[in-house]
Amino acid sequence: MRSELNQSFLEKQLKLAQRTSLIGLALFAVGIYLTFAYPKAVLWAFVALIVGFLVSQIGIYFGNRYGRRPRADQVLDQALKGVGEKHTLYHYATPAGHVIIGPSGVWVLVVKYQQGRIRYHKGKWRQKGGPVLWYLRLFAQEGLGRPDVEVEEEVKLIRKALVEALGEEEAAAVPVEPVLVFTSPKAVLEDVSEAPVPTLKPEDLKGFFRERLKQKRLTPEQVRRVREALVLYKPPKKAAEDAASAKASKAKRGAKAKKKG
């Protein structure tokens, strides 16, 4: 399986993480300074400390999501290496974060990096991990929340883009299926058999997709149109080629018009 990474998007997120972390630390330092240098300004010191802490947590959140190694895109690339040769895995290049496009349809991979024991029982997600999990939540690890809702939102984004580009009838013929992936080595899927969406670890992906990606539910022309509808990012080389092609076409039309004139 080929993969394409929107490197510019990733770099922007990492810069955001660095800047917010630095701003948070600076505000925190100001709060500490005011506390000791100007005891009467205790209210402002308190505000600076709280805001600094919150801003730094935002930086840690983005750093964890886009900067930790191996990153989500690297984990998925490695897990799916050798399957679906006619498919492409796009990272941060479509309305959803990680999307596979090919003859078998569109697959939306929603990545979660929470650790601990994960289960789905009686319509609810549960995450257990003791004091360590509480500590991680305090310092900017996302809570588990409702992964099924997140999955629905990403699928909706893909469906919306397809309808806008292809129209309702053609978009309805495109299979869009989600998969939830817990990438942390410390995540243990205890009981997710009743989950509303396939829930897997990276090591399970190859077995899950091996036969499914052999399905031919889209023609080559449909695959092309789906890619055009969903892929918002083009690698620099491809973008340059398209720009050169567009420029050549424009010059050709101009020459024809001049000749007619």
Q: Give 255's pLDDT tier (boundaries 50, 70, 90).
A: low
Whole-structure pTM over 0.85, yes or no?
A: no
Of 104-118, 120-134, 149-163, 244-258, least confident by mean pLDDT is 244-258
At 223, list the tokens. 């695959």
In this model, does residue 241 exceed pLDDT 80? Answer: no
The Cα–Cα gap between 186 and 225 comes to: 39
H helices present in the chain, as ranges: 7-37, 42-66, 72-79, 130-138, 147-166, 168-172, 202-212, 220-230, 236-260
Predicted pLDDT of residue 257:
52
First to last CA, the chain: 51
pLDDT tens track for 64-86? 778 788 899 999 999 999 998 89
**Selection from 29-43, 58-72, 169-183 with the highest mean pLDDT:** 169-183
